[in-house]
Amino acid sequence: MAMYESEHTRFMREWMEKHPEQREQQQTGRALWWDKPQDVAEQQRLAQARVPVKPYYYDVGGH
Q: Report, as an integer, the average pLDDT of 39-56.
A: 90
For the cut 80, the answer to whether the pLDDT of residue 51 exceeds it is yes
Q: Report, as an integer, the average pLDDT of 20-34.
A: 89
Confidence bin at 1 (pLDDT 50/70/90): low
- The reported pLDDT for the residue numbered 35 is 82
Following CA atoms 28, 33, 36, 41 in sequence, which dihedral angle do they give, to the nearest 10 degrees? 170
pTM of the model: 0.46
